[in-house]
Structure 1
Amino acid sequence: MSSLARIKQAARQTYQQLWYFNIPIVTPQIIAVYPHDPRAFTQGLVFEQGCLYESTGLIGESTVRRLSFEHAIPELSHPLEDHWGEGIACNREQLIQLTWQSQIAMVYRLTDLQPITELPYQGEGWGLASIDDGFVMTDGSERLQFLNHHFEVVSDVRVMIKGKPLRWLNDLIFANGSLYINRLSDHFIYQVSPLSGQVERIIDCSYIVAIEQPSGNEDVLNGIAFNQQQQQFIITGKRWSQLFVVTF
């Protein structure tokens, strides 16, 4: 079976499940496509002050970088030599990068990506987004942890679809009052209420995955940023060759 056929089959199966839950499903509109470093094991994206920042993973290959939309080569990059990089978020002129199992977040100056300090936390780090004056973090389960700017957990909520937990939550972004969340090995983005944890809408990215045609099992949809001024989302995947600017 071809990769495109597998994508369509998986989408049909998921559609059947979502139809049962009566969740609205929409397809993103592609506004623009830009090159992306196909070696980058993308773990997080964030758009801040007109620039796109990316966190990449794998031990010995993890980085935090500032990207150019016109070229696949990063404009600026800082290696994370001893840790596995995960999600990133911006707060107060700083860039914060999670690590997978090291239980520390790396804090960088936004302007030049130079390390400033480290912040400890408990458990695994997967996705990170800024929300209000703090952050929201995923750990691969169905749980969203809300943290203050000191990186202390102040509350949490479980993401649910009609009473059923939605596990394997990954990169995410807060935009216009909602959270938009990637899920590991899934072709969908989930619009979630940060207050209740309920899934309110599904964005079906199967068509975008089919355009990219990822070659490996690990090369999944992951990485979502939001351009507030343009009201556009930027999405990509692990080892993808393209960045997609979309609306939905």
Structure 2
Amino acid sequence: MKKAKFLLLFILNVLFISCGSNSDKNKSDFSLSFVSSKAEFEVGETVKVSIQNPKNKKIDSTSFYFEDQLLGTATAAPELEIPLNFEKLGNQKINAIVFSEGATDSLQIDFKIFNNTAPEIYTYNIINTYPHDVGAYTQGLEFFNDTLYESTGQYGTSTLRKVDFRTGEVFEKTELSDQYFGEGLSILNGNIYQLTWKEGEGLIYNLESLKKTGSFKYNNSKEGWGLCNDGKQFYKSDGTEKIWILNSETLAEETFIQPTTNRSISTQLNELEWVEGKIYANTYQKDGVAIINPTNGAIEGIINFKGLRDKVSQHPELDVLNGIAYNPNTKKLYVTGKNWDKLFEIEIIKK
């Protein structure tokens, strides 16, 4: 099935590049439009797209596509009704291949798909407070077997750490080369994967020794922000509207989702954490954490952590909320921030 999808995608790319760019003529004889004239929709709506044919050329058939999925083929009337139940929300495209008088034309139209429900709003209770290294510019946080692993940033002082979360004691620490700015981390199959910010490179370590064993390149995104995994694949934020989905073996960024509410498409999502089938992501320089459906990108909830930063020691280097860790063994959630001297065990409460 996967081979068939890749083959279809390859064929589409060849068509769009070789005959769809209209490189041999200045302008296509056709255009693709929405009948409703709007380009923003919600999940569950049905929209109609049509081929505009001002020169009344004979159209043999038109095939409509979303990504590598054939939506339908029209032979008589070059239009199609499309139920918006696609897997993914956000900025999307519909492509059409028009077969007319022995020639082929490819068309494209951009549109947005928003969620059809607003996110649930949550607040929090502090259950416990633990010490945290005030010098740690926290970028990534994740539990494995009740031990907390932490990635810290800043050029010249970035580290990878193994921490006793109850006492704040750092069991082991690996310092990154001065060329790297440490970012998010995630643990899978006996390895720790740590992102770097602008270097276009991720670092791989042995889980037990924290010794570097390899690295990997970003093949689509330009930056590394947050990282988490669902046990099968990685999810990576890069500061844009995209959360990339990485193959756990090759670490290639194969596709992406776009975190989207009923009104907007989110950017600046930073530290990521996998929590019971959802992605938790904090927005950089904000007090909110989004709860994201990893299949379609729908932001299903927002946790308002306003006031939490006021509960740590105030000092000149104090920075924003950044650091979410969920312990799947105890079902407990922890948050901290950059240069915070406290780690908070949190209970999430629906408002």
> TM-score scaled to structure 1, two decimals?
0.87
Q: 2:204 aligns with which of 107, 120, 127?
A: 107
Aligned position for 2:180: 83
Q: How far 1:218 sits from its partner (Å)?
A: 6.5
Aligned position for 2:223: 124
* Larger Rg computed on CA atoms: 2
Q: How far 1:49 sits from its partner (Å)?
A: 1.3
Q: How far 1:213 sits from its partner (Å)?
A: 5.6
Per-residue displacement from partner, 1:27-55 (whole Å, max 9, x unpaired)?
A: 12222111011111100000011100000
> TM-score scaled to structure 2, two decimals?
0.62
Q: How far 1:188 sits from its partner (Å)?
A: 0.9
Partners of 1:217 and 1:192 in 2: CA distance:
31
Structure having the larger proportion of residues in helix: 1
Contact 2:185–2:226 (Cα < 8 Å) also in 1: yes
Map 1:46-195; keep pairs closer than 5 Å. 46-81=142-177, 82-122=179-219, 123-149=222-248, 150-195=250-295
Change beyond 3 A, Cα 1:166–1:26: same
Per-residue displacement from partner, 1:70-102 (whole Å, max 9, x unpaired)?
A: 333411100002200000000101100000011
Is the deviation greater in 147-156 or in 215-224? 215-224
Gaps of 5+ in 1: 1-20
Aligned position for 1:13: none
Q: How far 1:68 sits from its partner (Å)?
A: 1.4
Change beyond 3 A, Cα 1:140–1:216: farther
Per-residue displacement from partner, 1:194-224 (whole Å, max 9, x unpaired)?
A: 1111111111111322212654586000011
Contact 1:42–1:56 (Cα < 8 Å) also in 2: yes
Give percent identity, aligned residues only. Answer: 32
Is the deviation greater in 157-166 or in 237-246? 157-166
Contact 2:230–2:277 (Cα < 8 Å) also in 1: no
Gaps of 5+ in 2: 1-116
Look up the equivalent residue of 1:154 and give its one-letter code: E
Change beyond 3 A, Cα 1:217–1:69: closer
Look up the equivalent residue of 1:139 and give its one-letter code: D
Contact 1:129–1:137 (Cα < 8 Å) also in 2: yes
Partners of 1:154 and 1:214 in 2: CA distance:
42
Look up the equivalent residue of 2:164 and give its one-letter code: S
Q: How far 1:182 sits from its partner (Å)?
A: 0.8
Contact 1:214–1:220 (Cα < 8 Å) also in 2: no
Change beyond 3 A, Cα 1:77–1:203: same
Aligned position for 2:10: none
Aligned position for 1:35: 131
Look up the equivalent residue of 2:235 and give its one-letter code: V
Q: Aligned pair count?
A: 228
